[in-house]
Amino acid sequence: MLRFHPPGFIDRTLETSLGQLVYYTTEQPAPSPSPAMVFLHSLGGGSSAYEWSRVYPAFAAEYPIFAPDLIGWGASAHPVREYQVEDYLTLMQEFLQQVTSVPAIVWASSLTAGLVIRLAIQRPDLFQTLILVSPSGYGDFGSDYRRGLSAQLAGIPGVDRLLYAVGANNELAIRNFLQQFLFAQPDRISDELVAAYLASAQQPNAEYAALASLKGNLCFDLALYMGQLQVPTVLLWGERAWFSRPETGERLASLNPKVVKAFLKIPDAGVLAHLEVPAIVIGLIRGQLSQPGA
């Protein structure tokens, strides 16, 4: 899916324990003393590294950039399996250890951001700073996503494939999902954006990773982990995020105020603020990285 990434970036591959992973990086290496910046996309139907393609070019002159399509998504391998939390913890650890210089500055969003927090607790040596957009385990503070209708239907054999075909595997469904749940302003959704999501959703066996997320296989209570985090963290939250409200983010931040260096609300933005209003996200994070000790 290199065609959806900016000029000056190339795709490379890494053999992981789950299969071949494709990642995108700068054609010309950035200055070596700089820490690597790693951009990890969310885990919803059609997700891929494209999600960060409007942000990472702004940092490419200063940092080595790495943006993988996680296994089960984008151009990476799509093994037929019941994906679990440990699969992605292992995958992210392998990627950071084998491809990037560590400790790295890691950007992540949504459920992936929640998983990054768990990995950072296990392996703080891999991380310099976390920049997280709307992190969630979708079971936070005792809520249980798996009891909801979507998760219940996605757990029924046959119905799950129908849900994916109707709800994620066509252009109309992709555009509707972006408009209804991910973006605050529908006019920010370009044809290219829809095409990138559709290309990822239509990869062979793409339904396995997407349905694992929809069924709740990857869900957990992030509140149980937040207080154990030791890596300096910046949280960004679209004020109109639909899946996980800013109020939940503030509660999570309050569990570890010494580690959460900033909680930044982004007006008139949804859960993927970095894709919807990238210039604002870039400006906010530049301000954070310029501070002493960042």
Q: Give the other-Cβ count within 10 Å of 200's Cβ.
A: 28
Q: List pLDDT tens digits, range 274-289.
A: 999 999 999 999 999 9
**Better pLDDT: 169 or 292:** 169
* C-alpha of 212 from chain center: 15
Residue burial 201-234, b: 16+ Cβ < 10 Å; e: rest: bebeebbbbbbbbbbbbbbbbbbebbeebebbbb
Reduced to 3 states, what is the DSSP secondary structure of residue 104?
strand
What would the mean pLDDT of 182-200 be, rounded to a whole number?
96
Q: List pLDDT tens digits, range 104-159.
A: 999 999 999 999 999 999 999 999 999 999 999 999 998 776 666 565 555 566 55
Residue 88 has pLDDT above 80, yes or no: yes
Q: Give the pLDDT confidence score for residue 293 in this predicted structure.
A: 61
Residue 269 has pLDDT above 70, yes or no: yes
Q: Give the pLDDT confidence score for residue 214 in this predicted structure.
A: 82
Q: Give the pLDDT confidence score for residue 105 in this predicted structure.
A: 97
The 3-state secondary structure of 129-165 reads EEEEECCCCECHHHCCHHHCHHHHHHCCCCHHHHHHH
Tokens of 71: 């296994």
The alpha helices in the chain, defined as continuous H runs, are 85-98, 110-122, 149-154, 159-167, 171-177, 191-201, 206-215, 223-226, 246-254, 273-276, 278-289
Q: List pLDDT tens digits, range 215-267.
A: 889 999 999 999 999 999 999 999 999 888 999 999 999 999 999 999 999 99
From the number of C-beta atoms within 10 Å of its C-beta (0-12, 13-18, 19+), residue 11 rates as middle
What would the mean pLDDT of 75-86 be, rounded to a whole number?
96
Angstrom distance (rounded) from CA 65 to CA 96:
12
Q: Give the pLDDT confidence score for residue 162 in this predicted structure.
A: 58
Q: Give the other-Cβ count within 10 Å of 181's Cβ.
A: 14
Q: List pLDDT tens digits, range 21-59.
A: 999 999 876 666 789 999 999 998 899 999 999 999 999
CB 168 within 8 A of CB 181: no
Count of helices and strands (H, E) across the chain: 11, 8
Angstrom distance (rounded) from CA 270 to CA 5:
22
Q: Give the pLDDT confidence score for residue 184 in this predicted structure.
A: 95
In DSSP terms, 283 is beta-bridged to: none
Q: What count of residues does the chain have?
A: 294
Reduced to 3 states, what is the DSSP secondary structure of residue 256?
coil
Q: Kindly list the distances between the CA atom of residue 188 and the CA atoms of 5, 168, 185, in Å, as whole numbers in the listed order.
A: 18, 20, 6
Q: Give the pLDDT confidence score for residue 199 in this predicted structure.
A: 96
Q: Quickly state the pLDDT bin for 16 (edges 50, 70, 90).
A: very high
Q: Give the pLDDT confidence score for residue 247 in this predicted structure.
A: 96
Angle between helices 206-215 and 191-201 in degrees, nearest 10: 100
pTM for the model: 0.94
